[in-house]
Amino acid sequence: MNVQIMPAIRCPGNAVEGARALAGVFRDATVVEEHPGAAVVAVHGTRLCLVDGDDVETPNPSISALLKFDPTALGGEAEAIAYLDELYDRLSVGGVLMPLQEYPFSRRYAWVRDEVGFTWQLMLTDPAAEPRPFLTPSFMFGGVADGNAEPATNAWLDLFHGSGRGDLVRYGAGAPVAEGSVMFTDFRLNEQWFAAMDAGTFHDFTFGPGVSMMVLCRDEAEVERLRAGLSADPAAGRDGSCVDRWGVNWQVGLDDLAERLAR
């Protein structure tokens, strides 16, 4: 199976202008596709799709972008910290969810919201850890989806070929969340890296259409197989859109973004 998976972010205003602005934030980013109503930007090699939206179906932190600042890949720790701090200033114009400081899991970390409402996690990583992409789409299972990070990712791993799990860290006894729930896990779907965690506390938000996962396939048979496997109700959805049993929105179609948007 050869598919491409990327977050599709609904943003108020013009998506093409938003993608151009986002590309200007990073040291390595390029707008690779532009179409009426949508654009794709590659950030350090990982693609994000921006789609014209409104003030109703807006992003929330359930799906974010995890940015890993690896000193071995960025010219040393001082340069990694400088780049992290630079992006913290540029990406936090919409607010700060977790301030830039030291946490038990990272000596320098922040979670911020950009001008269109999409959120970014910025983390200085241990240079001794296994290498990962700079940008990893991350799922947070909160609200009614809390506690489902493991069963959901297991189901996705079974559905997509070229899959496998990397790290899996659980909460232990005495934590302020349910023992055994997922503190962090990362995994590959069709050789693309993603991350997930349980929120641990109840939030007033969960997955929604503000950020969906776009799956672009090479043939119609693969479209139908993945759509059926991802949809909680295979008879529902239009134009390839579906919602899985955990509330994650997916858009599954052929690998021709311009044609799909024109429908």
Question: Are residues 94 and 188 located together in one domain of the fold?
Answer: yes
Residue 12 lies in domain: 4-58+208-262
Amino acid at the residue 47: R
Which CATH number do you get for residue 118? 3.30.720.100
Out of 142, 163, 198, a domain closes at 198
Please check whether residue 172 lies inside any domain of the structure: yes
Where does the pLDDT of residue 261 fall: very low under 50, low under 70, confident under 90, or very high at 90 and above?
low
Share of the chain above pLDDT 90, in %: 76
Backbone angles phi and psi of 114, in degrees to 5: -90, -175
* Same domain membership, residue 155 and residue 45: no
For residues 78 and 54, state if they share a domain.
no
- Determine how many CB atoms are found less than 10 A away from the CB of residue 235: 6
> Side chain identity at 103, as an amino acid letter?
Y
Pick the last residue of a domain from 198, 226, 243.
Answer: 198
Mean pLDDT of 39-44: 97
Residue 30 located in a structural domain:
yes
Task: Indicate whether 19 pLDDT > 50.
Answer: yes
| 89 and 183, same domain (yes or no) | yes
**91 and 164 inside one domain:** yes
Q: Is 226 part of any domain?
A: yes
Does residue 248 belong to any structural domain of this protein? yes
At 47, phi and psi to the nearest 5? Answer: -95, 140
Calculate mean pLDDT across residues 55-70. Answer: 94
Residues 68 and 190 grouped into a single domain: yes
Calculate helix-pair angle for 220-230, 149-159, nearest 10 degrees: 160
Residue 23 per-residue DSSP state: H
Does any domain span residue 203? no
**Residue 43 to residue 136: CA distance in whole angstroms:** 10
Tokens 């950009």 locate to 114
Q: Which helix (H) or strand (E) holds 152?
A: helix 149-159
- 35 and 124 fall within a common domain: no
∠ CA(161), CA(166), CA(170), 5° rounding? 125
Number of domains in the chain: 2
Using one digit for the tens of pLDDT, what is the confidence trace for 71-116?
999 999 999 999 999 999 999 999 999 999 999 999 999 999 999 9
Residue 129 resides in a domain: yes
181-226 tens-digit pLDDT = 999 999 999 999 999 999 976 677 899 999 999 999 989 999 999 9
- Say if 106 falls within a structural domain: yes
pLDDT at 2: 79
pLDDT at position 263 is 46
Q: Are residues 167 and 46 in the same domain?
A: no
* Alpha carbon distance 256, 217 (integer Å): 9
Rounded distance between C-alpha atoms, residue 65 and residue 41, angstroms: 13
Considering the domain architecture, whether residues 100 and 194 belong to the same structural domain is answered as yes
- The domain boundary residue, chosen from 198, 231, 249: 198
Return the residue matching tokens 């202008």: 17
Q: How confident is the model at residue 12 (pLDDT cuts 50, 70, 90)?
A: confident
Which helix (H) or strand (E) element contains residue 225? helix 220-230
Check whether residue 139 and residue 216 sit in a common domain. Answer: no
What does the pLDDT read at residue 55?
81
- Of residues 88 and 174, the one with the higher pLDDT is 88
For residue 262, the model assigns a pLDDT of 44
Averaged pLDDT for residues 40-58: 93
Q: Are residues 46 and 81 in the same domain?
A: no
Mean pLDDT of 160-174: 91
Q: For position 143, what pLDDT does the model report?
A: 87
DSSP string for residues in 57-92: S---TTEEEEEEE-TTTTTSHHHHHHHHHHHHHHH-
Q: Are residues 223 and 164 in the same domain?
A: no
Q: Residue 239 maps to which CATH number?
A: 3.10.180.10
Does the pLDDT value for residue 238 go beyond 60? no
259: pLDDT strictly greater than 90: no
Amino acid at 29: A
